[in-house]
Amino acid sequence: MPQNQKFCPLPWIIQAIRNDGSLRACSNSHSSISKGLLHKDDGSVYNAATDNLSEAFNSKDLKSLRLSMLNNETHPICARCDREEAQGVRSRRNVEVENWSHKFTLEDAISVTNTVGEVQENPIYLDMRFGNKCNLKCRSCSPTDSNFWYEDHIELWGQSSFNDGKTKVNIIREGSKFVEDTSMYRWYENSKFWDQMFDRLQNVEQIHTVGGEPLLIEQHFTLLEKCIEMKIAHKITIEYNSNITVIPEKAWSLWSHFKRINIGASIDGVGRVNDYIRHPSKFENIFHNLKKIDESPDNIFCWIATTVQVYNAHHLPKLMKWVVKNKFNKVQRFLGMPILNCHPLHNPQFLSTKILPLHVKDWIAKLYSECNEWMEENAHLYLEKEWADTTITHVKEILSAYESHMYSEDLSHLMPKFMTYTKGLDSIRKESFEYSIPDLWEKLNS
């Protein structure tokens, strides 16, 4: 029997909630045409605020997806993972198959799935995004994921609204603040959701939480406190995507009760490069918090999550060398963890590395080759032998994958839109592409 390349455990174990409360197959499915959304029979989308979570877990979309996977067939919802794997990039599917190999395999999926794709099990993995409250407005982000983007969105595009899926969201001014005219990003205030969620927590083994910035969202702490109150925290892993600009003191206290805390620290570069992409962060502050995590209790782990895009594709070697030279105790230092946890930016397309002119791509490829040579010659000076050997291998794999991704398509016709966008934000934020990322600026203008 040929190996099943399409299987992923997530459709059997996860309940994934967008920041507007809508339910979807997983976070990566957002890149598909359907956005991975789960639909009722009448065509409307399930929402965690008002709908039955158990019913959504056996929606027609998930049943179809499960059956396709069991038959080793491509499904439209999985377009992003299919595309990344074809380019040699380690996909979310690859990661989850590995992460859950001890708990839920293809054989398990076959045994619990009936002929129409239904399962009776409750999810053991929750992916919960509590709104879009954030303290950063990253260049690769948008108002859908950060309310701090609202004012810049109006000034940059001349529009006081944006589309989140099929919903038009109007931005209005309240005093000195800009806010949305809808409660969709406060879906978690509905008591029906919490009643259902507290009933489901007994089965949960992992909770992945994102925002916005989850460490700024109070309801996320409500969830942690409930797990502690129910005396189940000791068996649950909490996983974050966080910009780690702010780590409240009560987080450290609550985290001590859990089996494991995984923190994916969103860092897109060193120094000015990171600050330019992830405005208005300060790299010194991020590094300070990263060091605190590195010296934290034994149940806390961390990795650096990097979004590879136009602004930092050339910068990956410098970021990798920075990680090696800092000789962290815990950051990136646990079994199977590569030197960086990278993922390619797909949207907006005008920030994809595929838009770069050929001569710039060739320059980046040369930087990647030089980085491989540097690792071969220097990794053992900073890391113990086994970890140095593993790092050298990971660096080669990552850079090869992202080089392949960059060359896989010519979208250079989008360069004018990239430059218009960059200059527009520079003007609004009083920043300078030339000052912040001078080497890339020079190559693009040569």
Q: How far, in Å, are 132, 163, 169, 244, 422 from residue 431 at the CA level?
A: 24, 27, 28, 22, 10
Each residue of 31-88: pLDDT tens digit?
A: 899 999 999 999 999 999 999 999 999 999 999 999 999 999 999 999 999 999 998 8
Nearest to 327 by CA among 406, 373, 271, 383: 383
Give the amino acid at 151.
E
Beta-strand relationship, 206-210 and 125-129: parallel
CA distance 83 to 73: 14
Q: Give one DSSP letter per residue of 183-239, joined into a string.
A: SGGGGGG-HHHHHHHHHHGGG--EEEEESS-GGG-HHHHHHHHHHHHTT-GGG-EEE
> Which pair of tokens denotes residue 423?
């200059």
Contact between residue 156 and residue 142 where contact means Cβ atoms under 8 Å apart = no
Tokens of 321: 């060398």
- The whole-chain average pLDDT of the chain stands at 95
Q: In the structure, what pLDDT confidence band is assigned to residue 2 with cuts at 50, 70 and 90? A: low
Main-chain phi, psi angles of 174, to 5 degrees: -125, 100
Confirm if 6 and 78 have CB atoms less than 8 A apart. yes
- Is the pLDDT score of 18 beyond 70? yes
Query: What is the C-alpha separation between 216 and 95, in angstroms, rounded?
Result: 27
Cite the DSSP H helix spans in 183-217. Answer: 191-200
Read off the pTM.
Answer: 0.93
Coil, helix or strand for 338? coil
**Per-residue model confidence as pLDDT tens digits over 177-233:** 999 999 999 999 999 999 999 888 999 999 999 889 999 999 899 999 999 999 999
- Quote the pLDDT of residue 121: 82
Q: Could you report the per-residue pLDDT of 377-422, keeping only the tens digit for each?
A: 999 999 999 899 999 999 999 999 999 999 999 999 999 999 999 9
Domain borders along the chain are: 10-123
For residue 34, which of 48, 49, 18 has the smallest C-alpha distance? 18
pLDDT of residue 1: 40
**Structure tokens belonging to residue 406:** 């960059």
Residues 337-355 have pLDDT tens digits of: 788 999 999 999 999 999 9
Residue whose entry in the numeric block shows the structure tokens 């250079």: 412
207: number of Cβ within 10 Å: 20
pLDDT level of residue 426 (50, 70, 90 thresholds): very high
In tens, the pLDDT along 87-98 reads: 888 899 999 999
Tell me how crowded residue 369 is: count the other CB atoms within 10 A of its CB. 13
Q: 237-242 and 260-266 as β-strands: parallel, antiparallel, unpaired?
A: parallel
**Coil/strand/helix, residue 101:** coil
Mean pLDDT of 113-131: 94
- The answer to whether the CB of 181 falls within 8 A of the CB of 170 is yes
Q: How many other β-carbons are positioned within 10 Å of the β-carbon of residue 116? A: 11
Q: What is the C-alpha to C-alpha distance for residues 56 and 336, in angstroms, rounded to an integer?
A: 33
